[in-house]
Structures are given as structure tokens and as C-alpha cells.
Amino acid sequence: VDYYTLDARLSVGPVFARHLAHRMFRGEYYSMQVDSHVRFTEHWDEDLIAQWKSAKNEMCVLTTYLSDIIGSIDPITNKSKHPGRPIMCKSDYEGSGKLKHLRHGQQPEGPPGIHGEPTLHPFWAAGFSFARAHFVVQVPYDQYLPMVFQGEEISMGLRGFTYGYDYYTAERSVCFHMYAIKENAAKRHKVKLFWENAPKYTGAELKAMKRLNAIIGMADDPDYDHADEERYGLGEVRNTQTFFDTFGIHTESQTVEENLCTFVGKPMMREFKPHLRPNRMGIDYDQIHYRFVDPKKPKRQQ
């Protein structure tokens, strides 16, 4: 096991930390990213690889927010006792000014409606991501985003989308997260956070967020750090506007179409899965003309 030790006083957040982790890539076949404070089920690796293969999509990324650990794993068998799994379908703008960004909120959770394969959903989650390791090569973490926490996921997710990656939630959860709730609250609240270093890096977050939003097409301010933009920028398989149009994100007004969760799941699978390329190299969005509009919005506003 390879690891990298960094003085806590130099910590500038998860984006740079994960950039360092990506630098340790040495040609492994698969790549997985998880948060700290995560526990896995028995034979999680075999199960996860089997679920990835069942998508029959080389560009499949299994990714989602993790369910809470409490009551989720049998202490005797180490098998999952949790029948549901989260699905990524809720996102909205938060913050203000140059720091305003698209953030994925708390996601719905329930038993899978589709069996024998993972389910497509639009968003990528930093807390759990499993794919072929070319994802790390194509979409490396941007080293120029210190002190960024919120905003990381839409940045990586959009960049991955433009390189042709498709995001799925697994049918079965193989790991669970210790959140700072219930009996784990006191234990987790003792954990130190990188924000303690914020006074040392005044202005770093604002500069980083300007770069982040500009690169993914969610801001039109040209005054941002362009360093190594080709390496940490967008792919050429799809463009970000296709993503915005498909999933009801309005960058000019910084609003989203509500109730996207009514589409994500079986409807999205019915609409998109037939357009998986014959060579299994991702969903062909050139063949998809779907545009999500809030079904609960009054017709005069649609």
C-alpha cells in the first residue's frame, strides 16, 4: 500500500489532496475514490467489479453519496443489511458572487428499481467513485484549486462527462460512511478540518472558484488562472452545454429545473440506455434529444 504523508499545517483541502493521490497512479486497471470514515462489506471488491461489468460500458463510473454506517453492516457476517442505495438527482446553486456554484444536496435513497445492472444518473460524487483507471488519466484532479470543498463534484463530473464518461449508482451498496450523526456525532466532531488553515491562504478559495467555474462553462469571467488549462480542462467527446440542456441547468440565470428525480431512474434508463455505443464506449449523446423540464411547473412557464 502506497501512501503520502503531509504536514496538517499545509493542508489546503480535498481537491489538492486528491490531486496528490492521482499522482500516485501507476497503471492500475481500476481506480476507486472514497471518503475517510468508510467501512466495506465482505467481498466488496468482487461485488463492485461484477456490478461495474454488468453495465457493459467501458465508460461506466459507479458513483454516489454513501449511506450511513449505522445498522448497515451485519457485525457477524460483515454483509450488508441495507436494502436501499442513494441515487444522484438533486442539485441546485448555492453561495453568492464569484463563489456561487452548483452543489449536489442530500440525495434520495431507496431499493433499486432496476436489477441486474447499475442505474444511470447525471451527477458524480466525490465520496465514492469506481471506474476503469483511465478516468484518472483523462480527468486528473486540478492542482490549482486550493481551499475548494463545495464545487469539486460538479467540476470533476462535468469534465468527466465531456470525456465521455457515464455515471451510475450501483444496485448494491458495498460500503457505508460514518457521518457525524447519532452515536457517531461526538467522535466525528473531534476530527480536525482543513478550514483551520484558511487564515494562511486568504483569497485562495475565491481565486480557485473563479477558475473552477470558468473552466466548466458556469461563469463567463475571463479573468482567472489559466495555468495548465489544457491538462485540467474539458474533453472533446461532449460539451458542457449538452449536459446543461439535457438535465435542466440554466447557467445564465443560475437556476435549475426542479424535480429532476422524477426522471432519473427507470425513465432515464429507458431514454438513454438504447444509445450506448455498439463498441461500449459510452452513451452517444448526439443521438439523444431529451431536455428535462420540471413536470410540476405550470405550462405557461415551460
How do 60-63 and 166-169 pair as beta strands? Answer: parallel
pLDDT tens string for the chain (302 positions)?
899 999 999 999 999 999 999 999 999 999 999 999 999 999 999 999 999 999 999 999 999 999 999 999 999 999 999 999 999 999 999 998 888 999 998 899 999 999 999 999 999 999 999 999 999 999 999 999 999 998 999 999 999 999 999 999 999 999 999 998 998 988 888 888 899 999 999 999 999 999 999 999 999 888 999 999 999 999 999 999 999 999 999 999 999 999 999 999 999 999 999 999 999 999 999 999 999 999 998 876 65
Instruction: Find out whether 104 and 149 touch, Cβ atoms under 8 Å.
Output: no
Site of grid cell 492542482: 143
Q: What is the largest CA-CA distance in the chain?
A: 58
Residue 21 CA to residue 27 CA, distance in Å, equals: 13
Residue 17 CA to residue 8 CA, distance in Å, equals: 11
Cα pseudo-dihedral 133, 139, 143, 145, rounded to 10: -130
Site of grid cell 488553515: 197
- Three-state DSSP at 85 gives strand
